[in-house]
Amino acid sequence: MTSSLTRLLDFDDQFRRDSQQSQAFLHRRDRRFAQQQQEQKRPLTVPAWLAELHALNDQRQSKGPDPRLRRWRQARWIFAVLGAVLGAVFMAGLLVYDGSRQINVTLLLVLMGLQLALALLTSLQAGLGWQPWGGLLGRTGEEGDPLQALRPALSARIAHTGGLMFAISGLLTLLIMVLVQDLAFGWSTTLQASADSYYRLVSLVALPWQALWPDAVPSAELVAASQYYRLNETPVSDPALLGTWWPFVLMAWLTYVLFPRLLLLLLAALQVRGRAGSALRNHPGYQPLFYRFDTPWVETRGEEEVAREPAPAQVNVSPLPASGTLIHWAGAGQTSDELIQRLSHDAAPLQLRAGGNSSLQDDAATLQQAGERRQPVMLVARGWEPPTGELSDFLFDAREQWPAGTLIALVPLADEQGGELADETLLAQWQRFIERQKDANLLLCAATHP
C-alpha cells in the first residue's frame, strides 16, 4: 500500500528533475529503456523505469517508505494508540458494575450503533472527497503536491485504524471484565416497551450470528427476566441468569463495531492504492512518458554547427583610379551605360568580360587585352554574390601577366543597375577577400558618383 504512494512520490520527483532536461534527451533516454525492456522481454512499467533511473543515479534503492509520508505514518500511530486507550476506557466505563443496578444493554446497543454510523460516515466522506478537517493538515491545494488527491482516502485510513484499535481494545476489555467480574446485564428504557418487543429487537440484532452461535442470542425468558427499573428495587430471582447476556454483547461488538471497522479499513487501504494509481495515471508526466516509450526517437538535426563569426574587417574604400579599362566579372553592370560613364575616365572605355559563362580562353584573352593598356583596371563584380575562387584565380593570373604595380580597383555593385554597395556586411566580405589576396595594388573601390 505504501509502495503505491512511494511510487507516486518517486515518479513526481523524477518528473520534477526531468523538467530541467530537454525533451530530446528525455525521449532518447526513455526510448532506449523501452527498447531494452522489450529486448529482455521485461514489462514496461513505471516501477521498472524508476528502478532503472535510481540505479543509474545512485538514488534510493531500498523499498522503504518515503520520508514525506512520515507525517501520515505518525498520525496513524497516534490514532491507533488513542483508539486503543479510548476503547479500553470506553468499555471499562460502560461495564463498571457496583452491584447497585444492572448494566444497560440498550445503552450498549445505542453506542455500538453510533460507532457504526461514525465508521460509515468516515468512509462516505472519503468516498466523496470531503475534507471538513482539511485545515488541520495544513493549507489545502499546495501547488504540485502529488498527495493532494489522496488526502481524503489517507485520512479515512487513519481514522479507521484508530477505530479498529478502539474496537479491539474494547473487545479485550469486555473479555477481561467478563472474566474477572460478575457482570449483570439488564435492559431498561423510558419508552413503553414490552419484554416481547425488546426480545424481537435483540433477536433482530442477533440475526447475523443466530445460526453460528445460538447461545449468544438471548432467550425470551432472559429478556423478560432482565428488565429493570431504577426506582424499582425488585430483587433479581436468578442473578446468574443476568450474566448470560455477555455472549450477545460480545457478538454485537464484533459484528457491529469490529468487523465493519476492519472491512472499512481494508476498503480505505484499497482506496488509497486506487487513488494513488489513478493519481499516477493522471500525473502530467505519465502520458508523455508512455509516449516516449512508444514513439521511435526521430532525429534529423545531425551535427550542430558552431557559429563561426567572420574575422572583423576594417572596410577601406579607396577613390576610383583614373582608368579607361573595365572588366565586367560575370557580366556585372555591363548593360548600365550610366555606370560605365560614372566609372570610366574615358568617354569610350575598353569594356571586357571575364568569369561567369565566359570560357577560360575568353578570360585569358581579356587578361591580355587589359594588360596591354598599361593603366589601372577596374574590375566590376556583383557585390551581393560572394567572391569565388575563380575571381581569386583571375586576379592571381592578372598579377602574373600585367606589368608590376598595375592598380586593380575591385568595384562591387549593389544591383544590376550599378548602384553603390553600401551594405556593411557585404563590404566587409569584399574587404576580407581583398586582404586574402595579399596584393597591395588591389583596392576596394565604390561605384560612387564623381
Partner 1 sequence: MDDNGKTQTPDDRHSDSPLPRFAVVGHPNKGKSSVVATLAQNDSIAIAMEPGTTRDSHRYPMKVDDVTLYELIDTPGFQRPRKVLAWLQGHSLSASDRPDTVAAFVNQHSDDPRYHDECELLRPIVEGAGIIYVVDGSVPYNREHEAEMNILRWTGRPSLALINQIGSDDYSADWEAALGQYFQIVRRFDAVRAPFEKHLELLRSFGELEPNWREPLDAALEYLQALKFGRDHQALEYIADALIEMLGHQQTARLGEHESAAPLLPTLRQRWQAWQREREQRLRHSVEDLYQHRRLQRQESDLSLPDGDDLFGERTRQLWGISKGQLAAAGFGAGAVGGAGLDAVTLGHSLGTGALIGGLLGAAGSYYYSDKLTKVKLGPLSGGFREAIYGPLKDPQFGYVVLGRALVHWYQISQRNHAGRDVLVVTDSQDHWLEELSRTDRNGLQKSLQALARRRFEPSKRQRLIEQLELAQQAFAQWQLAKFSSLH
Check binding of 312 to partner 1 (CB under 8 A): no
Of 316 and 392, the one with the shorter C-beta distance to partner 1 is 392
What is the Cα gyration radius of the chain? Answer: 50
CA distance 127 to 21: 38
Check binding of 260 to partner 1 (CB under 8 A): no
Tell me the closest approach of the beta carbon of residue 106 to partner 1, in angstroms: 41
Check binding of 278 to partner 1 (CB under 8 A): yes
CA distance 394 to 363: 8
List the one residue out of 180, 181, 131 whose CA is nearest residue 152. Answer: 131
Query: Under rule CB under 8 A, which residues in 41-100 are in contact with partner 1?
Result: none
Amino acid at 405: G
Tell me the closest approach of the beta carbon of residue 205 to partner 1, in angstroms: 41
Of 231 and 306, the one with the shorter C-beta distance to partner 1 is 306
Q: Are 385 and 392 in contact (CB under 8 A)?
A: no
Q: What is the DSSP letter of 304?
A: P
Q: What burial letters (b/e) apply to 424-434, b meaning 16+ CB within 10 Å?
A: eebbbbbbebb
Stretch that binds partner 1, among 73-81, 83-91, 241-249, 354-362 (CB under 8 A): 354-362
Among 40, 190, 232, 357, binds partner 1 (CB under 8 A): 357
Q: Are 324 and 344 in contact (CB under 8 A)?
A: yes
CA distance 441 to 438: 9
Count of residues interacting with partner 1 (CB under 8 A): 59
CA distance 343 to 418: 10
CA distance 203 to 220: 9
Of 40 and 300, the one with the shorter C-beta distance to partner 1 is 300
Check binding of 389 to partner 1 (CB under 8 A): yes
Of 77 and 291, the one with the shorter C-beta distance to partner 1 is 291
Among 221, 338, 372, 393, binds partner 1 (CB under 8 A): 393
Cα–Cα distances in Å, from 398 out to 263, 299, 373?
A: 102, 49, 13
Check binding of 359 to partner 1 (CB under 8 A): yes
CA distance 13 to 194: 66
Of 113 and 356, the one with the shorter C-beta distance to partner 1 is 356
CA distance 363 to 373: 16
Query: Under rule CB under 8 A, which residues in 101-140 are in contact with partner 1?
Result: 135, 139
Query: Under rule CB under 8 A, which residues in 11-40 are in contact with partner 1?
Result: 19, 22-24, 31, 34-35, 38
List the one residue out of 217, 119, 110, 194 whose CA is nearest residue 163. Answer: 119
Stretch that binds partner 1, among 69-77, 161-169, 284-292, 341-349 (CB under 8 A): 284-292
Looking up cell 548593360, which residue turns up?
Answer: 335
For residue 385, the SS3 value is coil
Among 294, 338, 372, 424, binds partner 1 (CB under 8 A): 294
Among 183, 205, 279, 421, binds partner 1 (CB under 8 A): 279
Check binding of 432 to partner 1 (CB under 8 A): yes
Among 211, 298, 347, 440, binds partner 1 (CB under 8 A): 298
Binding site for partner 1 (CB under 8 A): 19, 22-24, 31, 34-35, 38, 135, 139, 141, 143-144, 148-149, 278-279, 282-284, 287-288, 291, 294-308, 310, 330-331, 355-357, 359-360, 385-390, 392-393, 425, 429, 432-433, 436
